[in-house]
Amino acid sequence: MKIVEEPNTFGLNNPFLPQTNRLQPKMSPSAVSGPAHLFRLAGKCFSFVESTYKYEFCPFHNVTQHEQTFRWNAYSGILGIWHEWEIDNNTFVGMWMREGDSCETKSRQTKVHLVCGKSNKLAYVSEPSTCVYSLTFETPLVCHPHSLLVYPTLTEALQRKWDEAEQLLYDELITDQGYKKNLKEIFEEAGLLKAREEKEVEKQSKKITLEFETVEKCSKEYKQLSEEIKKLRVLLGQRGIAYRENSAGNTSVEYVSHQVAAAVASVLNGSKDDEPLHGDTGIWNYTA
């Protein structure tokens, strides 16, 4: 296992110092969530020693690593703080511990896999990629086939929302994308996932996308876009600007809008020395 060490201040790992002085978390752990029978693990910690390193997994709290040597700057740090569940196919597949100690330009994080075992113990630790760790925790609490199902952990109100989403998908009133978005919102409301700000890409990109959540919305947006294209066609025709279709005669919204946009851009980007447009008065309004 690859270990990335960082220089520490002298005395930071002095065993006589309180633990709170040695490990400074970036954030508080998320609230306890998930299967109720796992809540009994909260407040407990489980250790695993590999070579000169000791790892501690404290469910619903954090994961830490301690170098057990007499070096003055022996590393002792946080590999992740309890953040959220990873969910797939109605199943809790792992616990994510994020926002650990800094590691170059990012923070350390750890995914904990829960597997069936005769006793509660931390069984294996690895580092599949730099500063991203993987822990395997064995426990008899997940041996039952239904022990990690998500649906039973939800409130009746959220279960109804899930049922409604299933029906909408079955009736083809929403797409798979819309269905997954609905589930994500349900899991966030239940406190199983942390809400994220995912609008940065939308702000940076002004491109037209044809991905819609419902058939109704798709049809409505397509109709509006078609009307806009018709208006632009008329405008370009009045100014004597031609746009072309592809060799296959493609008149799809995406293709035509691209051609129209290119033609409009050629007008807007024209310099003051450009010739007047066909059908124009020949006078540029410089004061506009």
Percent of the chain whose predicted confidence (pLDDT) is above 90: 51
- CB neighbours of 219 closer than 8 A, spacing ≥ 6? none
Distance CA 261, CA 191 (A): 44
pLDDT of residue 89: 93
Q: Is the pTM of this model over 0.85?
A: no
DSSP 164: H
Which token pair is 76? 């002792």
The answer on pLDDT for 6 being more than 60 is no
Distance CA 132, CA 106 (A): 10
pLDDT of residue 63: 96
Distance CA 104, CA 81 (A): 18
Residues 128, 130, 131, 136, Cα dihedral to 10° = 10
Distance CA 142, CA 130 (A): 29
Beta bridge partners of residue 50, listed in sequence order:
53
Q: How many helices (H) and strands (E) does the chain have?
A: 6, 10
Q: What is the mean pLDDT of the chain?
A: 77
pLDDT in tens, 167-192: 999 999 999 999 999 999 999 999 99
Q: What is the band of 219 on the pLDDT scale with cuts at 50, 70, 90?
A: confident
- Do residues 29 and 81 touch, judged by C-beta distance below 8 A? yes
pLDDT in tens, 17-37: 444 445 778 889 999 999 999
Q: Once rounded to an integer, what is the mean pLDDT over residues 198-217?
A: 51
Looking at per-residue pLDDT, the higher value among 219 and 113 belongs to 113
Residue 87 is which amino acid?
A: I
36-149 CATH: 2.70.130.10
The answer on pLDDT for 115 being more than 90 is yes
- Do residues 52 and 76 touch, judged by C-beta distance below 8 A? no
CA-based max dimension of the chain:
87
DSSP line for 67-124: E-S--TT--EEEEEEEEEEEEETTEEEEEEEES-SEETTEE-EEEEEEEE-SS-EEEE
Neighbours of 52 (CB within 10 A): 12
- Do residues 108 and 121 touch, judged by C-beta distance below 8 A? no
Distance CA 140, CA 135 (A): 17
The answer on pLDDT for 1 being more than 50 is no
Return the residue matching tokens 């700000």. Answer: 197
Least confident span in 85-94, 142-151, 210-219: 210-219
DSSP 282: S
Q: Map out the domains of the chain as residue ranges.
A: 36-149, 154-197
